[in-house]
Amino acid sequence: MNLTLHVWRQSGPRDGGRFETYPAQDISGDMSFLDMLDLVNETITQDGGEPVAFEHDCREGICGSCGMMINGVAHGPDKLITACQLHMRSFKDGDEIWIEPWRAESFPVMKDLVVDRSAFDRIVQAGGYISVRTGSAPDANAVPVPKPEADRAFDAAACIGCGACVAACPNASAMLFTAAKAAHLSYLPQGQPERLERALGLAAQHDDEGFGNCTNHGACQEACPKGISVDYISRLNRDVLRGSLRGVGMAVGSDA
C-alpha cells in the first residue's frame, strides 16, 4: 500500500516545530508501525534529509518508549497495544496519517516525536522505599498474599510508563500512572508500612511536575495499552485523604 505521512518535525525544545509530508510507498500490511517509519527514514536519508527521530527500544510493548499520537489517538487506532505493536494492516491504501509527539507541558519535545518523560522518573522516586529485610532471599510463600490482592497488584504493576494517559487526558494529568505506581505496592503486605506516606509523596510530586488535575474524563483508561483502570485513581485519592487526616508515616493495616 502507498500512504502519505504528515510528521511533526522539531529540532529541539525551543524550536516552534511544523508538520512535514513524506510518502510511504510499498508498505506491507505485516509491517509494524515502527518498521514503516524505519523504511521512510531510509528513503529520507538516501535523499539527503535528516531522518525522523522517534524513541524505541524493545518493540514488544514492554518498555513504553515508543509513544506517539497517530491520527490524534495515543498509540494509534487499535486498543491495548503500543505503537510498536500496531501493524500497518490497520490502515488502507491511500490513507493519510498524522503523526505527533505527546502534547503536554510536562513532556517537553526533545526532537521530532521524542519527548522528555523524566517527570515520571521523579514521581516514582518520590514514592520512596518499602521496609523489608535485605540479605538472603526469603521463601516464596513466607508472606502470604491473597490471590485477589496479588492480581490487583499485578494489574497495577503492568504500567509501562509510556505516557499515553497524559497525552489522552484533556488536562494532561498523570494520575493514572501515579495511581498505578502507588497501587501495586499498596495491595501487598510489604507496601503497608509506608503506604500513606508513599501516596502523599507521589501525589505531591505529580503536582510539582506540572501535570493537570484528574476530572474523571476516563480518557486515560481508554488510551492505556495495558488496560489499567481508573479505579486505582480513586484508591490513591483515598490514601492521600487518609494520609492527610492521620499524619504522614503512620502504618495501616489491610485495605479497607
Model confidence at 256: pLDDT above 90: no
| pTM, entire model | 0.91
Predicted confidence (pLDDT) per residue in 49-82, tens digit: 999 999 999 999 999 999 999 999 999 999 999 9
Residue % of the chain over a pLDDT of 70: 96
Residue 169: the pLDDT is: 98
pLDDT, mean of residues 112-127: 97
Q: What is the pLDDT of residues 190-199, one digit of tens each?
A: 899 999 999 9
Pairing outcome for strands 3-9 and 96-100 = parallel
Same fold, 3-111 and 118-246: no
CATH class of 118-246: mainly alpha
97 by DSSP, 3-state: which? strand
What is the reported pLDDT for 251?
A: 40
Which residue, chain included where needed, has cell 505493536? 85
Query: Reduced to 3 states, what is the DSSP secondary structure of residue 111?
Result: strand
pLDDT (mean) for 221-239:
97
Give the span between the Cα atoms of 3 and 110, in whole angstroms: 26
Quote the pLDDT of residue 168.
98
User: What are the domain boundaries of the chain?
Assistant: 3-111, 118-246
In CATH terms, the fold of domain 3-111 is Ubiquitin-like (UB roll) (3.10.20)
How confident is the prediction for the chain on average, in pLDDT?
Answer: 93
Instruction: Say what the pLDDT of residue 136 is.
Output: 79
Cα-based angle 191, 138, 140 (whole degrees, multiple of 5): 85
* pLDDT at residue 253 in the model: 39
- Residue 178's closest CA among 97, 95, 120, 244? 120
Q: What is the mean pLDDT of residues 14-36?
A: 97
- Predicted confidence at residue 252, as pLDDT, reads 39
